[in-house]
Amino acid sequence: MRSRVSFGMAEAVVLLTMSSMARIFLPFPRYLVELSGPAAWLSSVAGLFLALLQVYLFYIILKPYPGENIMDITERTLGKVAGAALNIYYGFFFITIAAGFTRIFSEALLVSALPRTPISVVATSFMLIAVMGAYLGLETMARSTRLTYPFVLGGIVVLLFGLLPRWEISNLFPILGSGPVNVFIKGGFNAAIVTEIFLAAVIVQSFKGQEVFGKITSRAMLMSFGYLIILEMVFIMTINWNSAQESTLPFYQLSRLIYFGRFFQRVESIFIIIWSFIGMIKISLTLYASAFVLAHAFRLPDHRPLVLPLAVIIYSLSFLPPDLPSSLELERIIRMHGVLPSIILPVLVLVLDRFRRRGSKNEAS
Residues that bind another protein (CB under 8 A): 7-8, 10-11, 37-38, 109, 111-118, 121-122, 124-125, 128-129, 132-133, 135-136, 140-141, 143-144, 146-148, 168, 170-171, 173-180, 239-240, 242-243, 246, 253, 256-257, 259, 262-263, 265-270, 272-273, 276-277, 280, 304
When the beta carbons of 51 and 278 are compared against another protein, the nearer one is: 278
Is residue 47 within 8 A of residue 191, CB to CB? The reply is yes
Q: How near is the Cβ of 150 to another protein at its closest, in Å? A: 9
When the beta carbons of 75 and 107 are compared against another protein, the nearer one is: 107
Q: How near is the Cβ of 351 to another protein at its closest, in Å? A: 38
Q: How near is the Cβ of 129 to another protein at its closest, in Å? A: 6
Greatest pairwise CA separation for the chain in angstroms? 79
Q: How near is the Cβ of 12 to another protein at its closest, in Å? A: 12
Give CA 327 to chain center in angstroms.
Answer: 17
Q: How near is the Cβ of 295 to another protein at its closest, in Å? A: 15
For 262, the 3-state DSSP assignment is coil
Q: What are phi and psi of 261, to 5 degrees?
A: 80, -175
Instruction: Supply the DSSP symbol for 300.
Output: -
Rg of the chain in Å (alpha carbons): 21
Q: How near is the Cβ of 135 to another protein at its closest, in Å? A: 7
Distance CA 21, CA 279 (A): 9
Q: How near is the Cβ of 148 to another protein at its closest, in Å? A: 6
When the beta carbons of 79 and 150 are compared against another protein, the nearer one is: 150
When the beta carbons of 77 and 255 are compared against another protein, the nearer one is: 255
When the beta carbons of 174 and 325 are compared against another protein, the nearer one is: 174
Distance CA 97, CA 22 (A): 12
Helices (H), 137-183: 138-162, 180
Residue 271: closest CA among 287, 249, 242 = 249
When the beta carbons of 265 and 326 are compared against another protein, the nearer one is: 265
Residue 121: closest CA among 109, 134, 136 = 109
Distance CA 288, CA 282 (A): 10
When the beta carbons of 26 and 62 are compared against another protein, the nearer one is: 26
> How many CB atoms are closer than 10 A to CB 117?
13
